[in-house]
Structure 1
């Protein structure tokens, strides 16, 4: 009898240990899902976690994020761990169809087998299934032929896994693993080539992402963030702002809200250590960075005493006073606590690419933080809205802000504003692919006709 009790106790202890191990694995997977910012794409606004349905704007068309809950009828509940690994690291669904690289599997290829195992445990055991299918993605022909991604992957997808650099510290390697893998920083901050592939030689030097511009984040003091200390970068990733330097908006605000601010201090320090070693080989040797341009200025005298709706000698000053000065100050100095940022010594106004300034005016900023929401209203809303600015007004306001507070060499046109309002530059890849397919079809028909004629003449 005693022996049976001892066996039962051993089995109970073993079961408890196994349960604790399972919980630890799921928790590890949950952390990795946060680090990978899965929710930013796969959770629609006001939608259920990971149930998909969010429309992702891309240069080649709209891509709809899928349901990645463990639903067996609408999600990935039927996936084996190998099928899950292939989807995450190779961009291949369980049914064999290829994913589009809007899902950053080119970065997730870096993830180790152990981390894939933890992610699988989390998505299968730690996420609530949602039995609701999402709409299908319909890109223009010929990009709607998913098998074409096989050729793209053959050119640009690396083999799975991560090889540490033995000459660097463990923290540096952890930082590179996160930056290149889960955090997929290169996906946004590296410019793209003709086939929408990342230009590895220009890694982290800045790229257009829809209406926003992901700036240079190399360690170069002129072109990148080399003036920042490692603690500065940690502060920015935890809070979304760095006084007198930068504030997160757009997709970067989403990344901080859903991902970076939840990472451990050790992982943020590792990211900062690694990024401080990333160079920009094409950077200028000297010059002013985007964090030290502009100064306080105003021109209220241009319209003081006039009716606000009347034309003035400085329309930009009038637009600034009526729409911006109440928060950013009459001279663009911001508030003392930097909650409303200064418009000079500000990356959005000093960048050579004005997309972020235009997009901020059009779309505003909304970023929840531990200390409350950061909010700026959008001025590109419906034409009948009280705070609506048209393309010409946004261009005029942008140019006034740039001339007084930022990069005086940059000029914004109404056409640029219209492009950002539409969601950013489109890629010529679709049109060129269609032309290529059309020319191929013509050549095929001509060759077929020539062959038939030759065969006919031989008879």
Structure 2
């Protein structure tokens, strides 16, 4: 008993010392950035609204069916569900009691009003490069324009001891240290602006960069490792490779990237899943200059070595077979029954309506997660001011795993696509991911 007690006390003391050391780093004790911000300045508020859209604050801090910025969106993690917090200026349940210094520490350093570290689901590791002027504009917008909502924050379902926050101080010390944006002098002004957005407020890497064992992004910028924006899986979706290579954006023009970010669709592709939310809440509102800057920056990202083309349109024998009623290839008959009406016998869909499957980098991606999930649950293109009509794809979860695997394998190996097979195990695994998706927190009693 005494030995156990001593061990427990020693462990508690070690944890306390570790937390204390982490909090005594310059990162935690950096001077509070006090500033006078006119939260009633219309120009500053308008700038803050634009920046909040660039940062896509609404997508995470607004639950489906909930009030804007009141939180409650459930986010799946390997350890449990996190719920986004209320960031309206309600003084009791939101951030209404935050002064500018509190706000700056939360956004750029990941430190709550009470001094506790925030979970890295909040992309402060990217927001850290935002300028003082941008943080002031954001503060003016949230405090001076967003409607306060009285809605308590939901507790995470992460069990003890994984839910203790003190280790996050060490995580921040290792992976979210203070830094500034350092533009690459080899890029022109437009590409530098694109880099600033992609690496910073737009936090593209939070989804599109692979993560390490500690859930840290393996690269926060194009540092030569070519890990940055090379694709990653998050909540069962494969956030595609954005580098200039075959499984990424090599076949996309700058104009196509701009159209995709503005409307959520191109002549051959469409946004779905989390990316549809990004377009709907964020990128559709960005200026043409900023969208082009992002596109130009992405197009100059070099390909990783050893990446070969995974689409060879000259080898297409599928179109003729489907048009002649030749269904000898496994999965082809099921494709004709369930998919061909929209995506066509030639796999090219209908421009800006039904996305192409032929030559679509999501289809022949190394990781088929997104293809499997959207086939199971369906999808919807985003509503935007640029194209009011949204199109919906039904889900096919009623089909057995074996048949779905055959259909998807057929798609990934037809019309010149050259990708590995999808197995029944892949489909079964994705069914579990879909089944375990969290229920969002939207209390009926939330009030403005």
Q: TM-score, normalised by structure 1?
A: 0.78
Partner of 1:277: 300
Deviation, 1:192, is 0.9
Partner of 2:216: 197
| C-alpha contact 2:313 2:415 (8 A) present in aligned 1 | no
3-state secondary structure, aligned to 1:389: coil
Partner of 2:113: 94
Deviation, 1:339, is 1.1
Q: How far apart are the structure 2 equivalents of 1:319 and 1:278?
A: 39
| C-alpha contact 1:39 1:49 (8 A) present in aligned 2 | yes
Q: 1:316 aligns with which of 326, 331, 337?
A: 331
Q: How many residues align?
A: 388
| Change in CA separation of 1:232 and 1:130 when aligned onto 2, cut-off 3 Å | same
| Change in CA separation of 1:283 and 1:249 when aligned onto 2, cut-off 3 Å | farther
Check if 1:232 corresponds to 2:256. Answer: yes
Q: 2:198 aligns with which of 143, 158, 179?
A: 179
Q: 1:342 aligns with which of 356, 363, 374?
A: 356
Deviation sequence 1:61-113 (CA, Å, 0-9, x none):
21111111001111110011111111111111101122111111111111111
3-state secondary structure, aligned to 2:238: strand
Q: How far apart are the structure 2 equivalents of 1:376 and 1:238?
A: 20
3-state secondary structure, aligned to 1:423: helix
Specify every segment of 5 or more residues in structure 1 that has no aligned partner in the other structure, as ranges.
1-17, 304-312, 381-387, 427-459
Q: How far apart are the structure 2 equivalents of 1:140 and 1:292?
A: 50
| Change in CA separation of 1:230 and 1:332 when aligned onto 2, cut-off 3 Å | closer
Deviation, 1:41, is 0.7
Partner of 1:429: none
| Change in CA separation of 1:20 and 1:75 when aligned onto 2, cut-off 3 Å | closer
Partner of 2:128: 109
Partner of 1:389: 399
Deviation, 1:301, is 4.0
Deviation, 1:144, is 0.4
Partner of 2:243: 218
Deviation, 1:292, is 5.4
Q: 1:137 aligns with which of 144, 152, 156?
A: 156
| Change in CA separation of 1:276 and 1:240 when aligned onto 2, cut-off 3 Å | same
Deviation, 1:290, is 5.1
Q: How far apart are the structure 2 equivalents of 1:40 and 1:101?
A: 16
Q: How far apart are the structure 1 equivalents of 2:342 and 2:288?
A: 32
Q: How far apart are the structure 2 equivalents of 1:116 and 1:323?
A: 49
3-state secondary structure, aligned to 1:373: coil
Alignment of 1:22-421 (within 5 A): 22-200=41-219, 201=225, 202-220=227-245, 222-244=246-268, 246-280=269-303, 282-284=304-306, 287-289=308-310, 295=316, 296-297=318-319, 298-299=321-322, 301=325, 316-335=331-350, 337-367=351-381, 368-369=383-384, 370-380=387-397, 388-405=398-415, 407-421=417-431
Deviation, 1:135, is 1.0
Q: How far apart are the structure 2 equivalents of 1:83 and 1:172?
A: 32
CA RMSD of aligned residues (A): 2.5
| Change in CA separation of 1:424 and 1:150 when aligned onto 2, cut-off 3 Å | farther
| C-alpha contact 1:343 1:349 (8 A) present in aligned 2 | yes
| C-alpha contact 1:294 1:345 (8 A) present in aligned 2 | no
Q: How far apart are the structure 1 equivalents of 2:276 and 2:305?
A: 26
More helix by share: 1
Q: How far apart are the structure 2 equivalents of 1:425 and 1:290?
A: 33
| C-alpha contact 1:349 1:405 (8 A) present in aligned 2 | no
Specify every segment of 5 or more residues in structure 2 that has no aligned partner in the other structure, as ranges.
1-36, 220-224, 437-448
3-state secondary structure, aligned to 1:62: strand
Check if 1:423 corresponds to 2:438. Answer: no
Q: How far apart are the structure 2 equivalents of 1:154 and 1:356?
A: 33
Deviation, 1:142, is 2.9
Partner of 1:440: none
Q: How far apart are the structure 2 equivalents of 1:410 and 1:425?
A: 25
| Change in CA separation of 1:128 and 1:345 when aligned onto 2, cut-off 3 Å | same
Deviation, 1:379, is 1.8
Partner of 1:444: none
Deviation, 1:21, is 7.8
Q: How far apart are the structure 2 equivalents of 1:187 and 1:293?
A: 36
Partner of 1:433: none
Q: TM-score, normalised by structure 2?
A: 0.80
